[in-house]
């Protein structure tokens, strides 16, 4: 057999594409459990995240490290204990003790008041109150942090009277320094829900197409398919198109939930969003399809999907801020469709972006799609070898 | 169009360094029904797959329906009906959906009509909405056969098409093959059934990847030159065991209350049979002409393999 050349790869009959498409559609409809998962997944994920977002952070455990013991700090501590936002679970004697509790999750906050706090406060040196927050649950952490600031204000206000009234003027005479641990970006709800769309689409689209060909091989139907005059491109288009529809349903679900449940405003151009999300879905389908041309078994295909899924979460800017990553990680991130989609979707949904604003991420998405598609087409085995 | 439908030369294929098909030649004229015989694992399926372009031979060349097997496999696929040994239609599609899918892929006109006709011929018209996976083994075979014929191919490559099919359906199937043959359709069919082998015009026999025999069916007994003796009377089992242990006896087959012993060396065979008579004086012995039945049992038993 001759090596596949491009013109012969692009050979196409829409009737055969339609044949494959129709067959795939019927099979998808019959595979109820998988279909249900694809529809339920976005709802489930959103609801799970939704609980995290909707819960007012209350009674988060905090550990306090007191290096100072004066009237003002005691008043602050008393107000903190009285507040419903944090529960003081321990007073640490050393900073190691406090750090350990933070790490183990026994406490979500470590509040340190340094030695000489009150003395420096009175002198107007703006001493620091250090708060280390476990921001791995960014929403909860964010809410509680602002609460702590308010508590501090209320606690100190009565102290700054009489001879100390000069401290009540202007900015607070102390400084609250926050170290967010474990999630320095401090992603907010508005950031998460649009980004979640990218994660959901990556997960389902790649997973479902990654078994497109391997399933045929494992069931033995590949032999019959290859014995017909169907062309690689026809198989590719026919097999992936039904899942564009599934992707569209998922997008609709996320959009509806995002606006109704989370009241996320859609500020930018909807057309730009549609173009971007279509490109993104196609790129993911090609990625999955490429996997299915490489994997020999469905099991392998699943493993490869997870192999893609991890960097998609870790290196795309979903979990950690993209700019803060090392160069190599950013390079991997740039090659992932989700990285570009996340930028686009945040800009379009939250920052009023239009088509022109997202062009810089649109063309890489198109390029990735083209490269993946071409690779998949060339990898397609026309024989059983 | 050439009158030789399959003309392949020196087809060779290895899996994991082992030659599974070794320098295989085959010429099949138009309209012929060519039987393809050989023990399990001898390379029949592999050969058929190479002929229809599903496996790439590592060496060898040839034409199928006038098209190059190496470079024109798409043209070949359009004109060939290949029935796989293992059921390879979609179990989660209905009977009708499977046929329609195939019909669409071949770009057939009058699609509904053809599918209706195929369902009618199959006798599955009432069950057309049933999932193919729910069919019994024999019915699956019959559906697969219908599917590979729906585009009216010029060449049928059938890999054990009647395995597990009941005798009546097998008879119908062979009637159909002969009808197609009369219309000029060529058939290469692999089988393990003796009664099917004798219905073929010619037979190619393969063992351990090597073709050991290729001749018109009628010429085969003479070509093999098998001699036979009939042994009847009690005790049959002891006689059979004795014969099986003797030199010069290539085949011992039970036919009801008698044993047929066959061998290629007439004198050695006679000596062995007479030794049995000596040991078991009550049995009767007589020379017979080794017929198709003996020949094919002989072939099917893999006795022809001179390697092993
Ligand atoms: N894809 C493959 N990979 C490795 N070995 C293979 C492959 N296909 C076939 N074989 C080996 O090649 C040999 C010939 O197999 P083939 O299926 O052609 O035999 P066959 O004559 O069709 O046997 P049967 O009568 O059992 O159908 C067998 O030993 C088989 O194990
Ligand atoms: Mg076989």
- C-alpha dist (Å) from residue B126 to A192, B112, B122, B189: 54, 15, 10, 30
* B-chain residues near A25 (CB < 8 A): none
B52 at interface of A, judged by CB pairs closer than 8 A: yes
Please write the tens of the pLDDT for every residue from A339-354: 999 888 877 877 677 8
pLDDT at A279: 95
Ligand nearest to the Cα of B159, by number = 2
Closest approach of chain B CAs to the CA of A36, in angstroms?
17
More confident residue, B153 or B265: B153
With CA atoms as reference, the chain A residue closest to B68 would be A1
Res A55 pLDDT > 60: no
Determine contact, residues A1/B69, Cβ cutoff 8 Å: no
Closest CA to A180 of A133, A130, A129, A131: A133
Please write the tens of the pLDDT for every residue from B75-97: 999 999 999 999 999 999 999 99
At CB < 8 Å, which residues of chain A contact B?
1-2, 13, 15-16, 18-20, 22-23, 26-27, 30-31, 219-224, 226-231, 382-385
More confident residue, A107 or B166: B166
B46 C-alpha to center of ligand 2: Å?
A: 7
A16 C-alpha to center of ligand 2: Å?
A: 29
Chain centre distance of CA A226: 40
In terms of Cβ atoms closer than 10 Å to its own Cβ (0-12, 13-18, 19+), residue A88 is middle
B24 pairs with which residues across the strands? Answer: B11
- C-alpha dist (Å) from residue B71 to B30, B50, B68, B105, B286: 22, 12, 6, 21, 57
Question: Ligand 1, from B20, B52, B197, B208: best to mutate by most atoms within 8 Å of Cβ?
Answer: B20
Determine contact, residues B47/B54, Cβ cutoff 8 Å: no
pLDDT at B1: 47
Question: Ligand 1, from B12, B42, B46, B157: best to mutate by most atoms within 8 Å of Cβ?
Answer: B46
Res B307 pLDDT > 50: no
A112 pairs with which residues across the strands? Answer: A65, A130
Q: How far apart are CA B1 and CA A328, in angstroms?
A: 61
Going by pLDDT thresholds of 50, 70 and 90, the confidence category of residue A5 is low
B15 at interface of A, judged by CB pairs closer than 8 A: no
Closest residue to A223, CB basis, from B84, B102, B147:
B84
Strand, coil or helix: B113: helix
State whether the beta carbon of B41 lies less than 6 angstroms from ligand 1. yes
Question: May I ask the CATH architecture of the domain A60-181?
Answer: 3-Layer(aba) Sandwich (3.40)
pLDDT at A2: 42
B237 at interface of A, judged by CB pairs closer than 8 A: no
pLDDT at A314: 85
Q: Do B80 and A227 count as a contact with CB atoms less than 8 A apart?
A: yes
pTM: 0.77
At the topology level of CATH, where does B227-290 sit?
Answer: Alpha-Beta Plaits (3.30.70)
Residues, Cβ < 5 Å to ion ligand 2: B 44-45, 85
State whether the beta carbon of B240 lies less than 6 angstroms from ligand 1. no
- C-alpha dist (Å) from residue A96 to A93, A101, A131, A181: 9, 9, 14, 15
B46 C-alpha to center of ligand 1: Å?
A: 6
**Which of B77, B78, B105, B143 is best to mutate for the A interface (most A CBs within 10 A)?**
B105
Q: Do B101 and A383 count as a contact with CB atoms less than 8 A apart?
A: no
Between A42-51, B58-67, B73-82, the lowest mean confidence (pLDDT) is in A42-51
Q: How far apart are CA A77 and CA A159, in angstroms?
A: 13
Q: HSE (CB half, 13 Å, CA atoms) of A175?
A: 9
- Rounded average pLDDT over B251-260: 85
- C-alpha dist (Å) from residue B113 to A15, A135, B79, B119, B154: 18, 67, 20, 10, 20
At the topology level of CATH, where does B4-220 sit?
Answer: Rossmann fold (3.40.50)
Q: Which of A41-55, A66-80, A106-120, A333-347 has the highest mean pLDDT?
A: A333-347
* B-chain residues near A21 (CB < 8 A): none
* A-chain residues near B74 (CB < 8 A): 229, 231
pLDDT at A324: 65
* B-chain residues near A15 (CB < 8 A): 104, 107
Closest residue to A384, CB basis, from B49, B101, B105:
B49
Residue ranges of the domains in chain B? 4-220, 227-290
DSSP code per residue over B204-241 = EEEETTEEEEEEEGGGHHHHHT-EEEEEESS-HHHHHH
| CB pairs A-B closer than 8 Å | 79
Nearest-atom number in ligand 1 for the CA of B48 is 18
B80 at interface of A, judged by CB pairs closer than 8 A: yes
With CA atoms as reference, the chain B residue closest to A231 would be B74
Q: How far apart are CA B21 and CA B10, in angstroms?
A: 9
Res B186 pLDDT > 90: yes
Q: How far apart are CA B56 and CA B70, in angstroms?
A: 7
With CA atoms as reference, the chain A residue closest to B131 would be A30
Res B44 pLDDT > 70: yes
Chain centre distance of CA A247: 17
Q: What percent of chain A has pLDDT over 70?
A: 87
- Rounded average pLDDT over B45-68: 94
Please write the tens of the pLDDT for every residue from A161-217: 777 777 777 777 888 887 776 555 554 556 677 788 898 899 889 988 998 889 999
pLDDT at B213: 87
- C-alpha dist (Å) from residue A312 to A14, A87, A195, A202, A319: 34, 36, 11, 8, 9
Q: Do B104 and A18 count as a contact with CB atoms less than 8 A apart?
A: yes
Q: Do A383 and B53 count as a contact with CB atoms less than 8 A apart?
A: yes
Residue ranges of the domains in chain A? 6-53+190-379, 60-181
Q: Do A229 and B78 count as a contact with CB atoms less than 8 A apart?
A: yes
In the predicted model, what is the mean pLDDT of chain A? 82
Rounded to two decimals, the ipTM of the complex is: 0.86
B248 at interface of A, judged by CB pairs closer than 8 A: no
């Amino acid at each position: 057999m001759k090596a596949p050349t491009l013109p012969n790869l692009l050979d196409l009959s829409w009737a055969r594409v339609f044949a494959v498409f129709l067959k795939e559609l019927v099979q998808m409809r019959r595979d109820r459990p998988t279909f249900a998962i694809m529809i339920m997944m976005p709802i489930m994920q959103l609801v799970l995240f939704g609980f995290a977002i909707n819960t007012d952070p209350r009674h988060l455990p905090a550990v306090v490290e007191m290096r100072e013991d004066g009237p003002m700090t005691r008043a602050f501590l008393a107000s903190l204990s009285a507040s419903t936002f944090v529960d003081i679970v321990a007073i640490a004697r050393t900073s190691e003790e406090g750090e350990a509790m933070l790490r183990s999750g026994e406490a979500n906050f470590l509040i340190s008041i340094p030695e000489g706090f009150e003395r420096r406060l009175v002198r107007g040196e703006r001493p620091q109150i250090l708060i280390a927050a476990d921001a791995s649950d960014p929403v909860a952490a964010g809410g509680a942090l602002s609460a702590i600031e308010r508590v501090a204000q209320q606690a100190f206000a009565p102290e700054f009277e009489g001879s100390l009234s000069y401290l009540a003027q202007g900015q607070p005479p102390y400084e609250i320094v926050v170290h967010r641990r474990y999630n320095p970006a401090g992603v907010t709800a508005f950031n998460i829900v649009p980004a979640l769309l990218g994660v959901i689409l990556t997960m389902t689209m790649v997973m479902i197409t990654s078994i497109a060909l391997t399933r045929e091989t494992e069931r033995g139907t590949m032999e019959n398919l290859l014995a017909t005059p169907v062309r690689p491109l026809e198989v590719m288009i026919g097999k992936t198109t039904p899942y564009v529809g599934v992707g569209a349903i998922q997008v609709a679900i996320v959009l509806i939930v995002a606006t109704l449940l989370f009241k996320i405003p859609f500020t930018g151009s909807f057309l730009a969003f549609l173009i971007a999300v279509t490109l993104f879905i196609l790129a993911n389908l090609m990625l999955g399809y490429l996997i299915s041309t490489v994997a020999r078994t469905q099991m392998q295909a699943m493993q490869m999907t997870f192999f893609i899924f991890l960097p998609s979460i870790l290196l795309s800017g979903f979990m950690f801020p993209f700019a803060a990553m090392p160069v190599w990680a950013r390079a991997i991130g740039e090659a992932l469709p989700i990285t570009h989609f996340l930028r686009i979707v945040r800009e379009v949904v939250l920052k009023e972006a239009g088509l022109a604003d997202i062009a810089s991420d649109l063309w890489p998405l198109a390029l990735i799609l083209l490269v993946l598609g071409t690779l998949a087409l060339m990898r397609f085995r026309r024989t059983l070898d | 169009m050439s009158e030789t439908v399959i003309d392949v030369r020196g087809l060779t294929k290895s899996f994991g360094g082992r030659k599974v098909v070794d320098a295989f030649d085959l010429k099949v004229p138009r309209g012929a029904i060519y039987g393809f015989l050989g023990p399990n694992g001898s390379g029949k399926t592999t050969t058929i797959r190479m002929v229809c372009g599903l496996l790439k031979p590592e060496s060898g060349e040839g034409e199928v329906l006038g098209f190059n097997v190496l470079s024109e496999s798409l043209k070949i696929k359009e004109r060939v009906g290949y029935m796989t040994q293992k059921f390879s239609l979609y179990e989660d599609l209905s009977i009708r959906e499977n046929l329609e899918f195939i019909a669409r892929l071949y770009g057939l006109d009058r699609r509904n009509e053809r599918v209706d006709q195929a369902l009618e011929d199959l006798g599955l018209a009432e069950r057309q909405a049933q999932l193919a996976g729910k069919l019994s083994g024999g019915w699956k075979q019959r559906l697969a056969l219908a599917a590979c014929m729906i585009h009216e191919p010029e060449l049928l490559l059938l890999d054990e098409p009647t395995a597990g099919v009941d005798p009546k359906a097998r008879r119908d199937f062979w009637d159909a093959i002969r009808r197609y043959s009369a219309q000029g359709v060529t058939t290469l069919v692999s089988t393990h059934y003796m009664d099917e082998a004798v219905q073929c015009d010619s037979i190619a026999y393969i063992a351990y990847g090597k073709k050991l025999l290729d001749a018109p069916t009628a010429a085969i007994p003479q070509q093999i030159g098998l001699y036979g003796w009939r042994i009847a009377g009690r005790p049959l089992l002891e006689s059979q065991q004795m014969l099986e242990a003797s030199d010069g006896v290539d085949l011992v087959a039970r036919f009801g209350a008698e044993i047929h012993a066959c061998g290629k060396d007439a004198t050695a065979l006679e000596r062995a049979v007479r030794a049995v008579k000596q040991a078991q004086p009550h049995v009767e012995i007589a020379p017979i002409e080794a017929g198709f039945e003996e020949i094919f049992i002989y072939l099917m038993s893999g006795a022809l393999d001179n390697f092993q």
